[in-house]
Structure 1
Amino acid sequence: MLYLRGLALTNKRENMSNTQTSNSAGFKSSRFHIITLAALGIVFGDIGTSPLYALKECFSAEHGIPFTPDSVLGIISMLFWAITIVVSLKYVLFVMRADNNGEGGVLALMALSLRTAKNGSGRAKLLMMLGVFGACMFYGDVVITPAISVLSAVEGLEIATPGLSRYVVPLALVILIALFLIQKHGTTVVGKLFGPVMFVWFLSLGLLGIYNVIKAPEILAAINPYYAFVFMQQHALQAFIVLGSVVLVLTGAEALYADMGHFGIRPIRFAWLFTVMPCLMLNYFGQGANLLTNPSAVQNPFYLMVPDALLLPMVILATAATVIASQAVISGAFSLTSQAILLGFVPRMRILHTSEDERGQIYVPVINWMLLILVVAVVLAFKKSDNLAAAYGVAVTTTMLITTVLAAVVMRTVWKWNPFLVALVISAFFIVDFAFFAANLLKIVDGGWFPLLLGGFAFFLLMTWYSGRMLLRERSKDEGIPLEPFVEGLLAHPPHRVEGTAVFMTGNVGTVPVALLHNLKHNRILHKRVFFLKISIWDVPFVDDDKRLTLKELGSDVYILRTAFGFKETPDVHIVMALASNQFGLEFDVMDTSFFLARDTVIPSKIPGMQLWREKLFAWMYQNAAKPSDFFHIPVNRVVELGTKVEI
């Protein structure tokens, strides 16, 4: 009887365990598919809307390509292998392995490559400048993507109702302006629709492709790279020029890597391999098949492959897809700016969180309005998606090339791969990337100058800010008083000590904060508890709470408190105080705590440093940066700012 009761209990436990395991597996599977659906809406919007304009631009009359069935097969073959080599092999198989604690993107790749480089060395500076320039070129992409995507979608009205052609630009402007105006309200509600809408979009792309391929199945022969090779051999010059348009099918490929931290590598790979890539390939082959049966469709291969009854719904769906693609790159610009601020390349800016649940949803007002002005100017200047295509490729190929170079450094120095294997893999990718880059250099006069100018200007500003901050740090270190001997002498003969806690924000715990010197000079007091707080930003996206704080007591309730945040986190003194209370038993009463900050006034001078005009620019940027109290979320009524002048 006892045996049977024990057996029954064992079976019951096993059944419960199996049920829990099954439920857990089902939950994980359900969550995986939800994340994958969300990734469709955020990650693949840019590359997913390329069919609207990519093939049309490849057959532009300016390229001088004779319109023949062999040309169609050759160009479709080039598109197929460009996507396969660059996206599926380079990014999905290799580059996405280079994650910085789960995060991707050119700045994360830069941080990885710098781990084995000596600080201040020429190699470190070169890698840093490459990463920063790649990030700056992304801003050119952010300006062009909304303009070309929305214009190309709305241009479908010209096909559906030719009389509406004069309304294309005004309607595109209305959509874009509305998109930027809603940014401050966040995208939490609308964002839930992004995944389903993009799934319908990709499904429509695939079905349209199948519908047209059935009419001319011979287009499937373009899978054979022989057709691309023959086309490039017979039309060498035109083929090289058309490479600058073929690259348009790759716009947004960098997003697979950059958004890896939001969704994880598996959902992105799964969405690409089983939804996005097949649907894109089917659509491009469908456009090619339609060109074989209907050569006049070359004026707009995408919309002229759509049955007449579905044309207007397709215009509406395409517009929705391009708005989602635009939203994704705008959000990417906010995220990149936040990371650049924390890494010390951009002045502090006001950052608003638009969601209580998702800490990654942020809004940067300055960036939003600057992008709006630039996007509107681009639409008014270029007017047609065809004209913008020339500008688009330069930004994309520059970032792709930089990613390849940094990936090579990571493969060799971080992963310790065999040099021969690194050379073999990277050479193949570099040749392809450089071919696309060189082809797009031919378009500089036709509009390619715009992203280069924009990226170059952003790079100049970022490096000026970074160099200026380094000069300030050097001046503070050279002219500063060593902290610990000063505190030891101060405590030996202390001034009058008053109740409460004083927190002196400092960028260097080795020297005495200027705010403390001013406080002692003017007020002649010292609080009962004193903290020298240094907030550091590490080159990892997130920092675990158990590694965030370190504390050192200098005696008589005087402490050095160091705290670290990742470059994707928001520095917040409330988090620091809560952790200090939990980990060290240091209770903080906000209403009994004063935060002392030095408000520096930068004075350009002829002291060796930057050129005087760059120092003046840095001084202007420094004075107009957001206040540290706002940036670190310090209660306004608890802040004491003490001014000082610093010559650089």
Structure 2
Amino acid sequence: MSARQQGLSAGLVIGALGVVFGDIGTSPIYTLQTVFNPEDPHPVPVSDANVYGVVSTIFWSVMIIVTVTYILLAMRLDNDGEGGIMALITLLRRRAGRPGRRTALFLAALGIFGASLFFGDSMITPAISVLSAVEGLKIVQPSLGELVVPITAVIIIVLFLVQRRGTEAVGRIFGPIMILWFVTIGGFGISGITRHPAILKALSPTYAVQFLAGHFGIAFFSLAAIVLSVTGAEALYADMGHFGRRAIAAGWLWLVLPACTLSYLGQGALVLDDPANVAGPFFLLVPSWLRLPLVLLATAATVIAAQAVITGAYSVAAQAAQLGYLPRLRIAHTSAQQIGQIYVPWINWLLLASVLTLVFAFRSSAALAYAYGMAVTGTITIATLMFFYVARKTWSTPPWILYTGAALLLAFDLLFVAANLTKLIHGAWLPLLIALTAFTVMTTWQKGRAIVTAQRRREEGSLRDFVDRLRTDPSLTRMVPGTSVFLNRGKETTPLAMRANVEHNHVRHVHVLILSIETQPVPRVPDEERITVDELGYADDGILHVTINYGYMDPQNLPAALRLLDPARTEGELQLGQASYFLSKIELRRGDAPTMAAWRKRLFIATSFITADAAEHFSLPRDRTVIMGSHIEV
């Protein structure tokens, strides 16, 4: 049963609190401090008017982007219960008609760039989150400042080393830890408000409007830091399939939003009480004897935030591979109960190397903040644009309402994007470079894969003609007992391994299954819709084509899927327990044909080397798997 079908329960809400809100829930640690950072290239002076304006702008940014855009709007659009940019891409493919096909293709490409930005987010979040928490040691004892980077590096290394064990066991305590976190920051926020209760006036939007309109030269640049208050907003949408919209909305409205709001108000009151507190308002809210325990709790919360975005990167990479934008990756499922809990080794080690590089290169959360904001604003803007396009194709809402809403929300998002572009030379280039690199790899792989598929189709020849030849000229082969399974890309062409087996070995098994895998634009396919059988024109030759349908979040276990075959459709007993599996291994070579630029050909061939072993990916028995090679030029 999906989270959406389960409805609302305390367990789902607690689970959502532990997984979904880690990133956005730890934003109060560094947001206000970053806005008033005196080392910022465009510093915001500390004054009463600016403090009211900044706190008010933070609150209303959170309300507009998180509550309105994601909770109230985006989460009402789902792809069979799943959300996120990849879900929007599949909805675009499904809903776009022929008149709007060009627009849909452009938006789908934009969505891939948004997914690429998420990879940048996945690298920056662990670095900035853990750094910001450990930096609390400088508030506890300034002499400990030199230990911040080494301690952060150790925590991150340990975090990535334990990923292979999965999050199932640790996940049981994530929810309670985050509940304690939100109660703690909300409580200390209230204590801060008591020092200067007038800060509650910042809840009025008039202070945000006055700040933006009356001090636009200062306010515009401050948006590059204010956007840090909504980091993790995409996670609310992306994790909807695990917990359901109602559980996420309940956790946000009843605990996370109030706690974060109280923390921002408390920090603002503290700065109004003494402008010197702007150096670390989050940790200075608590008494000195409680600061070290708060640093430990903050570190635990930021590790959880990092964990959420790391597992999110695994999911995005796996979905991209299923949809044909990345090569087949080795994926380990770390939970027998939760299908979405996966571990992707190649992505894990890439992220570890990238995160450590960021920690040692930037050395502070404030320096990383300039890079972080660009990744966040870019992802949010693309998701908003795609949402309104899909909503226009899906809902019966009057167009003028959707266009008005889109104009207002996109104008707000684009204001943040413009502000972050002013930090381009100060770090905002980093997520754009990461995203551009990931986008280039994914689009190159998609195009190269299409070229290889077309070339294979020419070399493989017609499957129907090949079956006809086997039937009319029995001398081509001799029959041997048993079942052979050949993996193929469809039923139009002959598997290269099957053609080689017949033409060179002059042998075929009594039962032959030609197996194709179709990834549907839905997260999961039920077992009753998993298998489609085609007799290829003859009901007595023992040769069948079997299509196995998977969703883009389904594990692709072929022996388990074949057990779903109806014996009445298989022209005799197959004896799958002793079946032999034949794979065609393709060696790619760079040719002279003008299919792609030379550098893209080299990139495509280099990317192919990270392709996971097919036998392992499809859970094939090693002792009964035969690999036959060939080469193709691109």
The TM tier, using the shorter chain, reads over 0.9
Tell me whether 300-309 or 116-125 shows the greater mean CA deviation: 116-125
Provide, for residues 270-300 of structure 1, a one-character-per-residue CA deviation record: whole Å limited to 9, x for no partner.
0001010011111111111111112211111
Match of 1:414 in 2: 394
* TM-score, length of structure 2 as denominator length: 0.95
Kindly provide the amino acid, as one letter, of the partner of residue 252 in structure 2: W
Q: Tell me by how many angstroms 1:249 deviates.
A: 0.1
Kindly provide the amino acid, as one letter, of the partner of residue 520 in structure 2: W
Provide, for residues 215-261 of structure 1, a one-character-per-residue CA deviation record: whole Å limited to 9, x for no partner.
21111111111111111222111100001111000000000000001
Q: Is the 8 A contact 1:542 1:567 kept in 2?
A: yes
Match of 1:497 in 2: 479
SS of residue matched to 1:465 = helix
Match of 2:424 in 1: 444
Q: Tell me by how many angstroms 1:362 deviates.
A: 1.3
Match of 2:94 among 101, 107, 115: 115
Kindly provide the amino acid, as one letter, of the partner of residue 551 in structure 2: G
Q: Tell me by how many angstroms 1:476 deviates.
A: 2.6
Kindly provide the amino acid, as one letter, of the partner of residue 149 in structure 2: V
Match of 1:161 among 137, 141, 163: 141
Match of 1:570 in 2: 555
Match of 1:557 in 2: 542
Match of 1:305 in 2: 285
Provide, for residues 294-322 of structure 1, a one-character-per-residue CA deviation record: whole Å limited to 9, x for no partner.
22111111111112221111111101100
Q: Tell me by how many angstroms 1:121 deviates.
A: 5.0
Match of 1:632 in 2: 618
Q: Tell me by how many angstroms 1:613 deviates.
A: 2.4
| Alpha-carbon distance between aligned partners in 2 of 1:112 and 1:387, rounded to the nearest angstrom | 37
| Alpha-carbon distance between aligned partners in 2 of 1:409 and 1:102, rounded to the nearest angstrom | 19
| Alpha-carbon distance between aligned partners in 2 of 1:545 and 1:638, rounded to the nearest angstrom | 25
Match status 1:236 vs 2:186: no
CA RMSD of aligned residues (A): 1.7
Relative to structure 1, the CA distance from residue 584 to residue 197 in structure 2 (aligned partners, 3 Å threshold; closer, same or farther) is: farther
| Alpha-carbon distance between aligned partners in 2 of 1:137 and 1:65, rounded to the nearest angstrom | 28
Match of 1:377 in 2: 357
Match of 2:604 in 1: 618
Unaligned ranges ≥5, structure 1: 1-27
| Alpha-carbon distance between aligned partners in 1 of 2:569 and 2:471, rounded to the nearest angstrom | 23
5 Å-filtered alignment, 1:377-416, equals 377-416=357-396
SS of residue matched to 1:197 = helix
Match status 1:605 vs 2:587: no
Unaligned ranges ≥5, structure 2: 1-5
Match status 1:137 vs 2:117: yes
Match of 1:81 among 37, 41, 60: 60
Match status 1:642 vs 2:625: no
| Alpha-carbon distance between aligned partners in 2 of 1:184 and 1:583, rounded to the nearest angstrom | 42
Tell me whether 241-250 or 180-189 shows the greater mean CA deviation: 180-189
Q: Tell me by how many angstroms 1:347 deviates.
A: 1.1
SS of residue matched to 1:78 = helix
| Alpha-carbon distance between aligned partners in 2 of 1:322 and 1:477, rounded to the nearest angstrom | 50
Match of 2:16 in 1: 39
SS of residue matched to 1:617 = helix
5 Å-filtered alignment, 1:418-433, equals 418-433=398-413
Match of 2:80 among 94, 98, 101: 101
Match status 1:517 vs 2:503: no
Match status 1:68 vs 2:16: no
Name the count of aligned residue pairs. Answer: 621
SS of residue matched to 1:126 = helix
Tell me whether 136-145 or 579-588 shows the greater mean CA deviation: 579-588
Tell me whether 483-492 or 340-349 shows the greater mean CA deviation: 483-492
SS of residue matched to 1:302 = helix
| Alpha-carbon distance between aligned partners in 2 of 1:588 and 1:442, rounded to the nearest angstrom | 65
Match status 1:455 vs 2:435: yes
Kindly provide the amino acid, as one letter, of the partner of residue 233 in structure 1: A
Relative to structure 1, the CA distance from residue 638 to residue 428 in structure 2 (aligned partners, 3 Å threshold; closer, same or farther) is: same
| Alpha-carbon distance between aligned partners in 2 of 1:198 and 1:342, rounded to the nearest angstrom | 33
Match of 1:539 in 2: 521
| Alpha-carbon distance between aligned partners in 2 of 1:107 and 1:235, rounded to the nearest angstrom | 39
| Alpha-carbon distance between aligned partners in 1 of 2:515 and 2:199, rounded to the nearest angstrom | 66
5 Å-filtered alignment, 1:177-216, equals 177-216=157-196
SS of residue matched to 1:540 = coil
Match status 1:338 vs 2:318: yes
Q: Tell me by how many angstroms 1:67 deviates.
A: 1.8
SS of residue matched to 1:66 = coil
Match of 1:580 in 2: 565
SS of residue matched to 1:580 = coil
| Alpha-carbon distance between aligned partners in 2 of 1:587 and 1:252, rounded to the nearest angstrom | 53
Q: Tell me by how many angstroms 1:641 deviates.
A: 1.3
Relative to structure 1, the CA distance from residue 65 to residue 621 in structure 2 (aligned partners, 3 Å threshold; closer, same or farther) is: closer
Q: Tell me by how many angstroms 1:584 deviates.
A: 4.3
5 Å-filtered alignment, 1:259-274, equals 259-274=239-254
SS of residue matched to 2:517 = strand
Relative to structure 1, the CA distance from residue 381 to residue 123 in structure 2 (aligned partners, 3 Å threshold; closer, same or farther) is: same
Q: Is the 8 A contact 1:548 1:564 kept in 2?
A: yes
| Alpha-carbon distance between aligned partners in 2 of 1:446 and 1:66, rounded to the nearest angstrom | 20
Higher alpha-carbon Rg: 1
| Alpha-carbon distance between aligned partners in 2 of 1:41 and 1:126, rounded to the nearest angstrom | 36
| Alpha-carbon distance between aligned partners in 2 of 1:537 and 1:531, rounded to the nearest angstrom | 19
Kindly provide the amino acid, as one letter, of the partner of residue 518 in structure 1: A
Relative to structure 1, the CA distance from residue 587 to residue 548 in structure 2 (aligned partners, 3 Å threshold; closer, same or farther) is: same
Match of 1:54 among 22, 31, 37: 31
Q: Tell me by how many angstroms 1:530 deviates.
A: 0.9
* TM-score, length of structure 1 as denominator length: 0.93
Tell me whether 130-139 or 357-366 shows the greater mean CA deviation: 357-366
Q: Is the 8 A contact 1:497 1:528 kept in 2?
A: yes
| Alpha-carbon distance between aligned partners in 2 of 1:203 and 1:588, rounded to the nearest angstrom | 60
Q: Tell me by how many angstroms 1:409 deviates.
A: 1.1
Q: Among all aligned residue pairs of Structure 1 and Structure 2, give the percentage whose two residues are the same amino acid.
A: 43
SS of residue matched to 1:77 = helix
Q: Tell me by how many angstroms 1:639 deviates.
A: 1.2
5 Å-filtered alignment, 1:358-377, equals 358-377=338-357
Q: Tell me by how many angstroms 1:479 deviates.
A: 4.3
